[in-house]
Structure 1
Amino acid sequence: MKPMKIAMTFIACAAMLCRVAYAQEVVKIGVAGPLTGSAAQSGKDDERGVRLAIDELNAKGFAIGGKPVRFELISMDDQGDPKVGVNVAQKLVDDGVAAVIGHYNSGVSIPAARIYNEAHVVMMTGASSNPDLTHLGYPYVFRLATNDNVMGGRMAAYSAKVLGAQRAAVIDDRTAYGTGVADVFIKTAQKEGLQIVAREYSTDKATDFKAILTQIKSRNPQVVFYGGYYAQAATLARQMSELGLTATLVGGDGICSPEFDKLSAGVADKRMFCAQGGAPLDTLPDGKTFRAKFKSTFSADVDTYAPAFYAATLVVADAMQKSGSAKPEVFVKTLRDQSFNSILGPVKFDANGDWIDAPVTVYRLNGGALTAIAQKD
């Protein structure tokens, strides 16, 4: 071979090796939630939280084990449906994701968790609150949210001690979330001396509650607890008003959405209370900065759990960096053993994958907005 050709071959090979040496590894992160249907507002909010985190990680340059990586987001619509959610989970696994941030609905997260765990893919939800999720014995499943035992119990105690209620009616939508949080409300309410005068059932697609409400009205409850999501709860509030049922409406985080007032036509102002996991965003050190950044990026306001899904994404990335690996079998051990800083505050998971000392805040619908109740209340 001629000297010139040898030199050119050497240069070409050196350039190729250089590109290989400095090529960014692609790490796929999935996000799954209801991007269509009645809870689409929440699903899109969650997805935006993850997307914002991914964009920040890629913009600043992120390295794992000393090697540069680029995160790729794969977003899937689970429609808030368990069967669709299982299919989505399998698709994300087949696509090679290292972690999934989601799902939103407990009824979707619980069956999907098996798919992720068997595939050794980390799942971290920032919203699903049914306690059963983290008691399935799945080491790859984590919850960066408050569970229903805390939220349902908090609203029962609040109804009795602060609202002064003595009689309560309960309606749930028969989802894993709705039934779970309603069961906890009832159990705690009875301990607090609250009489449960009615327990009724609906669905997560219901639009007519009048037959149920007519039965409930005759029993004169002072509070109505709804276990379900905000779209149905807002319809429930409107129909309570139409029937002259003046009881206060209370619920868990499922009804705790800024969309509630608009969907309910304002009829529940100052008469709707809900519990939501986490501290109020604007009270967090970086909360106002996050809100402004979110608005400038998406031309939309933060809804509910975007900060939690944002935080979950960064906690997963931090675990990868601390462990020096993007392989779930490696960084899952770091998630279980170490502590992390986040926009939500300190994060440490217990043996079940639950956030230790997860905070919860009670909100009241006030002038069309959700206002945090002072802790002393």
Structure 2
Amino acid sequence: MQSRTYTLPIAGAILLLASHTVSAQEVVKIGVSGPLSGANAFAGKDNENGARLAIEELNAKKIKAGGKVVTFALSSEDDQGDPKAGVSVAQKFVDDGVKFVLGPYNSGVAIPASRVYNDAGILMSTVGTNPKVTQAGYKSVFRIVASDTQVGSSVADYAAKQLKVKTVGVIDDRTAFGQGIAMEFVKQAKRLGLKVAAHEFTTDKATDFAAILTALKAKKVDAIFFGGYAPQGAPMVRQMRQLGLNAKLLGGDTLCSPEMAKLGGDAVGENVLCAQGGAILEKQAGGPAFKANYKKRFKQDPDVYAPSFYDQMMFIAQAIRATNSTDPSVVGAALHTTSHKGVVGTYAYDDAGNMKKSSVTIYTFRNGALAPLASY
């Protein structure tokens, strides 16, 4: 009998303690929206990996908000790089109680999805570079890299001042990203006195560019600016060589990818130049460590945006700690008024959700790897 009188209170105490432990935790759902299938799946997976690495590090640190340990739970969905699919993913995240979304990757997906996230009070952090992404006035939308205005202009500056280009051809893939960055390149090129010989169009599914390239060769262009993605840029540069078109291929951040060299082979070298928002990773204080940790975890080097996804996740966690809240509106207000030193730059946002200052780096390819040329 005696043993029972002591066992019951102890058991009760254990149950009470367990209940208290459970109640002292909060699970915060983090959604990642990007292309996990199709030609740009490599980019979607890289973005997801950047977020995953940050979340694993944060969960190990056991950060607190409101007296509770915050556990971040990652939910990654394939938006296929398609606007309709992206809106469906956004609605799924709303239904699942996701509070913060990293992505979408594509501007054409980010623009319609941003409305769904805004209406549901979800904070969205995108690498969509089209200026329209942040023009709707949503306080919950953040662009975590330089916009097309900055990137396109930087490429035009480098082409005119360093490459001494006189005549350019322009090709865009008709996506929101491709059109946006091509338009910004053309604006700055004309300001600098470059002749835009022609503006041609393709799609983000095309593989044969012979007719377009033949037309541009006839116009004796010194360079071609391509507003589009690496899966089209790589065969494009191969076909340029086959046609004897000895012009530089210029592009934005989507060409600054190991995938460009992987798909283009020995046709991709110093004849290809691209611009990427952010500083040179290897030259940043935390850059080498991030690259090493990423490679150890995922058995490959980071691609274009993994560092940005990692940094923004860390900035969100910083804001959660600072405000002692996981409410996206509270965290969003903090992101607008504070800054974060990340592995690839310092993050601070204006009222529209754009980076207040974002450097742009011009790269080329040497021996199949990106090589930085200049920063703006």
Q: TM-score range by the shorter chain?
A: over 0.9
- Can you list the C-alpha shifts for 1:121-141, whole angstroms capped at 9, x where unaligned? 00112x211111111111110
1:85 aligns with 86
Mapped to 2, the partners of 1:347 and 1:304 lie a distance apart of 17
Mapped to 2, the partners of 1:113 and 1:302 lie a distance apart of 26
- Can you list the C-alpha shifts for 1:325-347, whole angstroms capped at 9, x where unaligned? 11212222111222223222322
> What letter is aligned with 2:47?
D
2:34 aligns with 33
The residue correspondences of 1:145-156 to structure 2 (distance < 5 A) are: 145-156=145-156
1:342 aligns with 2:342: yes
The residue correspondences of 1:85-234 to structure 2 (distance < 5 A) are: 85-125=86-126, 127-234=127-234
Mapped to 2, the partners of 1:101 and 1:253 lie a distance apart of 18
- Can you list the C-alpha shifts for 1:199-231, whole angstroms capped at 9, x where unaligned? 001101111111111111110100100001011
Offset of 1:375 from its aligned partner?
A: 4.2
> What letter is aligned with 1:239?
Q
Mapped to 2, the partners of 1:339 and 1:7 lie a distance apart of 55
Mapped to 1, the partners of 2:345 and 2:194 lie a distance apart of 34
- Can you list the C-alpha shifts for 1:161-180, whole angstroms capped at 9, x where unaligned? 11101100000000000000
Mapped to 1, the partners of 2:344 and 2:66 lie a distance apart of 26
Could you tell me whether the CA contact under 8 Å between 2:44 and 2:105 is conserved in 1?
Answer: yes
1:20 aligns with 19
Mapped to 2, the partners of 1:116 and 1:7 lie a distance apart of 54
- Can you list the C-alpha shifts for 1:297-319, whole angstroms capped at 9, x where unaligned? 11111111111001111111111
Q: TM-score, normalised by structure 1?
A: 0.95
Mapped to 1, the partners of 2:340 and 2:268 lie a distance apart of 39
The residue correspondences of 1:220-369 to structure 2 (distance < 5 A) are: 220-369=220-369
Mapped to 2, the partners of 1:270 and 1:327 lie a distance apart of 47
Give 3-state SS (helix, strand or coil) of 2:81's partner.
Answer: coil
Mapped to 2, the partners of 1:81 and 1:232 lie a distance apart of 17
1:68 aligns with 69
> What letter is aligned with 2:64?
A
Identity among equivalent pairs (%): 47
Q: List runs of 5+ in structure 2 lacking aligned partners.
A: none
2:373 aligns with 373
Give 3-state SS (helix, strand or coil) of 1:307's partner.
Answer: helix
> What letter is aligned with 2:165?
A
- Can you list the C-alpha shifts for 1:283-302, whole angstroms capped at 9, x where unaligned? 01011111111111111111
* Residue-pair matches, total: 374
Offset of 1:65 from its aligned partner?
A: 2.4
Could you tell me whether the CA contact under 8 Å between 1:234 and 1:261 is conserved in 2?
Answer: yes
> What letter is aligned with 1:220?
K
Give 3-state SS (helix, strand or coil) of 1:265's partner.
Answer: helix
Offset of 1:367 from its aligned partner?
A: 2.1
Mapped to 2, the partners of 1:338 and 1:9 lie a distance apart of 52
> What letter is aligned with 1:145?
V
- Can you list the C-alpha shifts for 1:253-283, whole angstroms capped at 9, x where unaligned? 1111112122112213111100001111100
Offset of 1:20 from its aligned partner?
A: 3.0
Q: List runs of 5+ in structure 1 lacking aligned partners.
A: none
Mapped to 2, the partners of 1:141 and 1:7 lie a distance apart of 57
Could you tell me whether the CA contact under 8 Å between 2:281 and 2:287 is conserved in 1?
Answer: yes
Mapped to 2, the partners of 1:256 and 1:344 lie a distance apart of 15
Could you tell me whether the CA contact under 8 Å between 2:359 and 2:375 is conserved in 1?
Answer: no
Offset of 1:7 from its aligned partner?
A: 6.4
> What letter is aligned with 2:158?
Y
Cα distance change on mapping 1:186 and 1:138 into 2, 3 Å: same
* Poorly superposed stretches of 4+, deviation over 6 Å: 2-7
Mapped to 1, the partners of 2:30 and 2:5 lie a distance apart of 43
Mapped to 1, the partners of 2:283 and 2:66 lie a distance apart of 35
Offset of 1:60 from its aligned partner?
A: 1.8
Mapped to 1, the partners of 2:200 and 2:369 lie a distance apart of 28
Give 3-state SS (helix, strand or coil) of 1:316's partner.
Answer: helix
- Can you list the C-alpha shifts for 1:332-371, whole angstroms capped at 9, x where unaligned? 2111222223222322110001111111100011221110
Could you tell me whether the CA contact under 8 Å between 2:32 and 2:104 is conserved in 1?
Answer: yes
Mapped to 1, the partners of 2:260 and 2:266 lie a distance apart of 8
- Can you list the C-alpha shifts for 1:224-260, whole angstroms capped at 9, x where unaligned? 0000101101111011111111110001111111121
Give 3-state SS (helix, strand or coil) of 2:70's partner.
Answer: strand
Could you tell me whether the CA contact under 8 Å between 2:280 and 2:344 is conserved in 1?
Answer: no
Cα distance change on mapping 1:73 and 1:193 into 2, 3 Å: same
Give 3-state SS (helix, strand or coil) of 2:340's partner.
Answer: coil
Offset of 1:6 from its aligned partner?
A: 7.7
Mapped to 1, the partners of 2:211 and 2:159 lie a distance apart of 24
Mapped to 2, the partners of 1:270 and 1:26 lie a distance apart of 48
